[in-house]
Amino acid sequence: MRNKHATQLIFELSTTGRSGVVLPECDVPVEDIKQLIPASLLQSQRPALPEVTEPEVIRHFTNLSTLNMSVDTHYYPLGSCTMKYNPKRNERIAAWDGFAQLHPYQSEGSLQGILQLLCDLQQMLAEISGLPAVSLQPAAGAHGELAALMVAAAYFSELGEKRTKVLAPDSAHGTNPASARMAGFDFITIRSQADGRVDLEHLKENLGDDTAVFMITNPSTLGLFDDQVEMIAELVHNTGGLIYLDGANMNAILGITRPGDFGADMMHFNPHKTFSGPHGGGGPGAGPICVTETLRPYLPSPAVSFCEETQTYYLDQGSEKSIGRVRSFFGNVGVLVRAYCYIRTHGPDGLKRVSETAVLNANYLLSLVKEFLEVPHGDRCMHEFVASAMPVREATGLKQPAMDIAKRLLDYGFHPPTVYFPLTVAEGMMMEPTETESKQTLDAFAETLRAIVEQSAETLHNAPHTTGIRRPDEVMAARQPIVKWTKTAD
Amino acid sequence: MNAEDLLYCDTHEWVFVSEQDGQKIATVGISAFAVEQLTDLVYMELPSVGTVVTAGKEFGEVESVKAVSPLYSPATGTVTEVNEGLPDNLEILNSDPYEAGWIMKVSVSEDLSDKLLDYTAYQRQCGEAS
Amino acid sequence: MPYTYNTPAQQEEMLQSIGANSIDELFDLIPDSVKLGRPLNIPPALGEIALTAHMQELARQNTNITDNTCFLGAGSYDHFVPAVIDTLASRGEFYTSYTPYQPEVSQGNLQVMFEYQTLICQLTGMDVSNASLYDGGSAAVEAMLMAINITRRTSRVIVLESVHPEYRQIIKTYFATIGTEVVSVSDKSQLLDALDETTAAVLIQSPNFFGNLEDVATIAEQVHTVGALLVCSVDPISLGLLKRPGDAGVDIVVAEGQSLGTPLLYGGPYLGIMACREEFVRRLPGRIAGQTVDQDGKRCWVLTLQTREQHIRREKATSNICTNQGLFALRAAIYLSVMGPQGMQDVASLCLQKAHYAQRQLTNLERFETLNDQPFFKEFVIRDKQNDVAGLLEKAEDFNMLAGVALGRWYPQLQDCLLIAVTEKRTVREIDQLVEILGS
């Protein structure tokens, strides 16, 4: 339970002369610091950090933690984020000295266990994606997108082709156009049809010999599998372009279909979504990418390979065509260790059942929610769906009912769905239950949502009513940003 | 200034041309409709004086809490003056977008873009959009 | 399938509610032509006991630095991690939460971000910090992109060769794509020659990759005379003693934050620190928490200035950053809180003294000579006159010692050199042992 007295910043708890740690006496002969470092490079006073004791630190941060909703404490149906249960066995294993206390510049001979793990993970991701060449380097999904688009740029440059355009549907994650821009491409938005699938005519109009990559999220952010995907791949491939699959929604299709089999040339995984790495309050994640054999030479370096002759694993610095490094050391290994544990825990049947259960849960929730909210893209979905709060706008006159409903859900102890995304659905509420929620939880959530949409405009608009704070003033925060604490005169 | 006397871009900037010391000066701002659509403006990036702006091209940005929108110049020329105080008092755009809420002045030599709309045509466009 | 709950009977009920006959039917949207139709070819499932045994087997094949003595550094350091950090960071409310999009139920994470930003400003002397980036390398490249954006000079940047080689490689990768020239210079005089009015930014590292301290303030003055920005990568531990970059004229500070309470983790995830001057706040990439008030006037925190973020800017993005390293920013915030000014000063002093002791003892030996002609902090380079770095490292490993990082892989001219890091954890006995082994 939250300690109501604990509302201060760590700086406001500071008392001059306190310390949370006692370091050992220096056991080597001590030199005068000024003999070692010129005075001009030394600071004149100690850093102005807070002065608090260890018990104060524990109480302060423990109390802060109780102000968060989390997967361990609440149902968290945040669409597109795959907030599934984070297995504790993975946390324990990843913290062992044999994984956590390894220096990146140890000799390869002293790292055979971790290198084997990473090499096997590369192979498992290749099998799950249907794309044989893997780089574990990228540090996040968006970083994977960027790395893959750089791979595409290097590939076309090698072919001597000037391809300047990256295309993606209007329902794409905002990271897609951003990655295209950062990789030096122009970006073109392709319309979706009313049913949420890619508008093929619009795609055809924009395809040409300047098309580098078509980025597709399949299943899409609307939770729909675009069954035209083979045709799309053929159209793009016929112009010499490549297909990139945004793997944010892989939780729907593990062991059922593979991006490499439906035409993708490149993709990224989000192990912090699909393979249960905890989200950590917004990171770390990881963004491994998988590509076709043709694109392998361009992948970021290094990768892990196995030498048959010496029977050892080693860091493979890749070919001269490699785009080079995108991340220091070997990427977010800690996240990859958890992903490895997750895949090994499930095996082939288990992974398929993860997706089957995620899709069953989403369709079940959809069947309940469509009774009282609009679900513009039909009665079936994959692992998530987007409802619209437009009926509530009509009934109540509220301008932003999705926001109001989201805030009201907080009063009932549910984390709201993702709202106002994708941009193509008015008053969108994107719900992704994941496979680790029980029917009882989904029933309770749907019942609550049903009760909420019938409440008065006033009740909704003034929500939340029970949280510690209510509707912070974001405009004030952005107009006159206060982004650090400063000591005020007493 | 009266909204009726101004010319508009289809991207919601307004422009008013006057003569100062024999030099044609275009004063540029954004329309009340745009301000309403953008909601809760939090930041505006102005060009610096001396910058050359081009009709139909971006000259700055305006931000609300959740979106960033480019500002397009209705005229080609050199920026002679900017409304320095505006970014710190964006509320002015709500109360007085056509006078105190001006954004920049541009010295123009050529005629303005022939794509500009008069008040009636612009109002029609806004009606269709909303 | 250890983590799902619904019984076959419940599944049946759910299918009925959906109006479907089977789970398979839910996948009808996927054309048969692309369905896999066979089990994935991955190893079979392991229960918790079997998984634990398997992972122990893998873990045992790694030499860990708990059972061995670590003098390796080069951007990743074996500093002391107080127990409070693991205790707090393993609370589910922290590590199983997500990005604080709903501030009402994320005040814990938001306040941590705000405190982290403040602590980084206090440590670096900069005005504004973001809520962290991926790691030191991505922070360096993002800072250079930011500088290009601020100066609107897109043609060239300058990087000192004494910056971490992997950071330089990342910059090369990114800038090859966007067509900006990366000029590499080896020292201050070459830097002066290369600086011109088209230069957007200069990247230096201090202490640099070889442990040496750069004359940051003088370089800053020179960089500013041509209107370029100075980006400096620092060792946050060194700031317990050394002049803060904010006081030396640096425009954007970046750092690898692993030293602040995160174990080595074979290189990641780590923490990218980035802080800048006030006037650049709207060009700073990554998430930022800001203070505001709620409807009832209560002080609280929100994600702010979100229009800087790449997923909002979409095709107008100027950065690749879409996330922060929340959990590791938390670790750094706890670390800096628990250390306080005295702890930071003590850690820095211990590193400084022990590194200098180790360097003196080693270079007293006939076999080695020093390469550090400038003042250094906790890391230094020795040259093996017998030119057998590999042999030395192997011999040390036999005594459970990770003696240093061989420099030949990045600098062919230094193939007879070792980079040795000494943190506050190393004891005089361990240092003497290292000297004995390398000298024997």
Alpha helix positions (H), A160-302:
175-182, 200-206, 229-238
Neighbours of chain A (3+ CB pairs under 8 A): B, C
pLDDT at B1: 78
What is the per-residue pLDDT across C302-327, written as a single tens digit (0 to 9) for each?
999 887 777 777 887 888 887 889 99
Q: Tell me, what amino acid is at C296?
A: D
- Same domain, yes or no: A302 and A408: no
What is the DSSP-derived secondary structure letter of residue C62?
Answer: B
Least Cα separation, residue A342 to chain B (angstroms): 36
Longest alpha-carbon distance in chain C: 84
- Rounded percentage of chain B residues whose pLDDT exceeds 70: 96
Supply the Cα-derived Rg of chain A in whole angstroms: 26
Give the relative orientation of helices A439-453 and C8-18 as an angle to the nearest 10 degrees: 40
B19 domain-assigned: yes
Rounded to whole angstroms, the Cα distance separating A84 from A251 reads: 10
- Same domain, yes or no: A366 and A430: yes
Site from B41, B62, B65 to mutate, A interface, most A CB atoms within 10 angstroms: B65
Rounded to whole angstroms, the Cα distance separating C137 from C168 reads: 8
- Same domain, yes or no: A360 and A338: no
Identify how many contiguous H helices and E strands chain B contains and give both numbers.
Answer: 3, 9
Rounded to whole angstroms, the Cα distance separating C386 from A359 reads: 65
pLDDT at residue C79 greater than cutoff 60: yes
A85 domain-assigned: no
pLDDT at A298: 98
Token duo for residue A370: 């469509």
Least Cα separation, residue C197 to chain A (angstroms): 24
Token duo for residue C43: 């190893």
Burial class (CB in 10 A: 0-12, 13-18, 19+), A465: exposed
Searching chain A, which residue's CA lies closest to the CA of residue C390? A107
What is the per-residue pLDDT across C41-70, written as a single tens digit (0 to 9) for each?
999 999 999 999 999 999 999 999 999 999
Establish how many alpha carbons lie within 13 A of residue C29's alpha carbon, considering only the half-sphere containing its beta carbon: 24
Searching chain A, which residue's CA lies closest to the CA of residue B39? A475
Contact flag A284-C325 (C-beta cutoff 8 Å): yes
What is the pairing mode between strands B68-72 and B58-64?
antiparallel
Q: Which of C287, C311, C303 is nearest to C129 (CA)?
A: C287
Cα-Cα-Cα-Cα torsion C304, C307, C312, C314, nearest 10 degrees, comes to -150
Rounded to whole angstroms, the Cα distance separating A350 from C103 reads: 36
Q: What range does the domain containing B84 cover?
A: 3-113
What is the per-residue pLDDT across A348-373, written as a single tens digit (0 to 9) for each?
999 999 999 999 999 999 999 999 99
What is the per-residue pLDDT across C372-397, written as a single tens digit (0 to 9) for each?
889 999 999 999 999 999 999 999 99
What is the per-residue pLDDT across C109-128, written as a single tens digit (0 to 9) for each?
999 999 999 999 999 999 99
B126 domain-assigned: no
Q: pTM for this one?
A: 0.96
- Same domain, yes or no: A230 and A256: yes
pLDDT at C411: 96
pLDDT at A424: 85
| End-to-end CA gap in chain C | 56
- Same domain, yes or no: A244 and A190: yes
pLDDT at C134: 96
Q: What is the mean pLDDT of residues C160-169?
A: 98
* Residues of chain C neighbouring A408 (CB-CB closer than 8 A): none
Residues 6 or more apart from A133 whose CB is under 8 A from it? A126, A290, A291, A292, A293, A295, A296, A299
pLDDT at residue B130 greater than cutoff 70: no
Cis-peptide, bond into residue C207, ω within 30° of zero: yes
Site from C292, C303, C307 to mutate, B interface, most B CB atoms within 10 angstroms: C307
Q: What is the mean pLDDT of residues B28-53?
A: 90
- Same domain, yes or no: A338 and A422: no
Contact flag C307-B63 (C-beta cutoff 8 Å): yes
Output the 3-class SS for C271-339. CEEEEECHHHHHHCCCCCEEEEECCCCCEEEEECCHHHCHHHHHHHCCCCCCCCCHHHHHHHHHHHHHH
pLDDT at residue C5 greater than cutoff 80: no
- Same domain, yes or no: A268 and A376: no
From residue A385, give the alpha-carbon distance in Å to each of A190, A413, A420, A431, C262: 21, 21, 13, 6, 38
Contact flag A475-B42 (C-beta cutoff 8 Å): yes
We report the CATH number of the domain holding residue A298 as: 3.40.640.10
pLDDT at A15: 96
Cβ atoms A429, A377 nearer than 8 A: no
Neighbours of chain B (3+ CB pairs under 8 A): A, C
Identify how many contiguous H helices and E strands chain A contains and give both numbers.
Answer: 15, 12
Output the 3-class SS for A80-123. CCCCCCCCHHHHHHHCCHHHHCCCCCCCHHHEHHHHHHHHHHHH
**What are φ and ψ of residue B13, in 5° steps?**
-90, 145
B127 domain-assigned: no
B85 domain-assigned: yes
A81 domain-assigned: no
Cβ atoms C406, C244 nearer than 8 A: no
pLDDT at B111: 65
Beta strands in chain B (DSSP E): 7-8, 13-20, 23-30, 41-45, 52-53, 58-64, 68-72, 77-82, 104-108
In the numeric block, the tokens 């590939």 are attached to: A155
- DSSP assignments along A156-186, one per residue: HHHHT----EEEEETTS-THHHHHHHHTT-E
Q: Across-strand partners of A266? A: A244, A291
Q: Which H or E element spans position C400?
A: none
- Same domain, yes or no: A18 and A40: yes
How far is residue C418 CA from its own chain's centroid?
22
What is the per-residue pLDDT across C222-263, written as a single tens digit (0 to 9) for each?
999 999 999 999 999 999 999 999 999 999 999 999 999 999
Rounded to whole angstroms, the Cα distance separating C405 from C420 reads: 7
Higher pLDDT, A395 or C5: A395
* Residues of chain A neighbouring B42 (CB-CB closer than 8 A): 475, 478-479
Searching chain A, which residue's CA lies closest to the CA of residue B64? A475
Contact flag B66-C282 (C-beta cutoff 8 Å): no
* Residues of chain B neighbouring A475 (CB-CB closer than 8 A): 40, 42, 65
* Residues of chain B neighbouring A478 (CB-CB closer than 8 A): 42-43, 63, 65
Nearest CB partner across the interface for C326, out of A280, A324, A406: A280
Residues 6 or more apart from B28 whose CB is under 8 A from it? B13, B14, B15, B73, B74, B75, B102, B103, B104, B105, B106
Give the relative orientation of helices C107-124 and C326-363 as an angle to the nearest 10 degrees: 30
pLDDT at C373: 82
Contact flag A478-B90 (C-beta cutoff 8 Å): no
Within chain A, which residues score under 50 in pLDDT? none
- Same domain, yes or no: A29 and A117: no
Q: Which of C265, C166, C58, C401 is nearest to A104 (CA)?
A: C265
Cβ atoms C122, C253 nearer than 8 A: no
Cβ atoms B59, B65 nearer than 8 A: no
Please say which residue of A306, A323, A345 terminates a domain.
A345
A121 domain-assigned: yes
Rounded to whole angstroms, the Cα distance separating A188 from A200 reads: 14
Rounded to whole angstroms, the Cα distance separating C256 from C138 reads: 9
Least Cα separation, residue C43 to chain B (angstroms): 45
Cβ atoms B67, B98 nearer than 8 A: no
Q: Across-strand partners of A267? A: A245, A290
Rounded to whole angstroms, the Cα distance separating A230 from A473 reads: 47
Domain count, chain A: 3
A142 domain-assigned: yes
Q: Which of C400, C401, C364 is nearest to C382 (CA)?
A: C364
B120 domain-assigned: no
pLDDT at C178: 85
Residues 6 or more apart from A356 whose CB is under 8 A from it? A256, C23, C26
A481 domain-assigned: no
Rounded to whole angstroms, the Cα distance separating A40 from B106 reads: 49
Q: Which H or E element spans position C54?
A: helix C48-60
Provide residues of A within 8 Å CB-CB of chain B.
474-475, 478-479
Cα-Cα-Cα-Cα torsion A261, A266, A272, A276, nearest 10 degrees, comes to 20
Give the relative orientation of helices C165-178 and A141-159 as an angle to the nearest 10 degrees: 60
pLDDT at A489: 61
Contact flag A62-C33 (C-beta cutoff 8 Å): no
pLDDT at C390: 96
- Same domain, yes or no: A391 and A446: yes
B23 domain-assigned: yes
Rounded to whole angstroms, the Cα distance separating A75 from A70 reads: 8
From residue A394, give the alpha-carbon distance in Å to each of A354, A399, A421: 38, 9, 20
Q: Which H or E element spans position C232?
A: strand C229-234
We report the CATH number of the domain holding residue B86 as: 2.40.50.100
Cβ atoms A223, A380 nearer than 8 A: no
Q: Across-strand partners of C128? A: C276
Domain count, chain B: 1
Rounded to whole angstroms, the Cα distance separating C426 from A27 reads: 10
Domains along chain C with CATH numbers: 8-60 (no CATH), 69-81+341-439 (3.90.1150.10), 83-335 (3.40.640.10)
Higher pLDDT, B62 or C378: C378
What is the per-residue pLDDT across C175-193, written as a single tens digit (0 to 9) for each?
998 889 999 999 999 999 9
Least Cα separation, residue A481 to chain B (angstroms): 10
Residues 6 or more apart from A10 whose CB is under 8 A from it? A50, A52, A57, A60, C115, C333, C337
A3 domain-assigned: no
pLDDT at C10: 97
Whole-number mean pLDDT of chain B? 88
Site from B65, B68, B71 to mutate, C interface, most C CB atoms within 10 angstroms: B68
Q: What range does the domain containing A471 cover?
A: 349-475
- Rounded percentage of chain B residues whose pLDDT exceeds 90: 46
Please say which residue of A298, A315, A345 terminates a domain.
A345
Supply the Cα-derived Rg of chain C in whole angstroms: 25
A485 domain-assigned: no
pLDDT at C313: 78
Please say which residue of A297, A320, A345 terminates a domain.
A345
- Same domain, yes or no: A191 and A251: yes
Q: Which of C125, C302, C127, C273 is nearest to A484 (CA)?
A: C127
Least Cα separation, residue A396 to chain B (angstroms): 20
- DSSP assignments along A476-490, one per residue: HHHHS---S--PPP-
pLDDT at B129: 62
From residue C32, give the alpha-carbon distance in Å to each of A127, A252, C26: 19, 16, 13
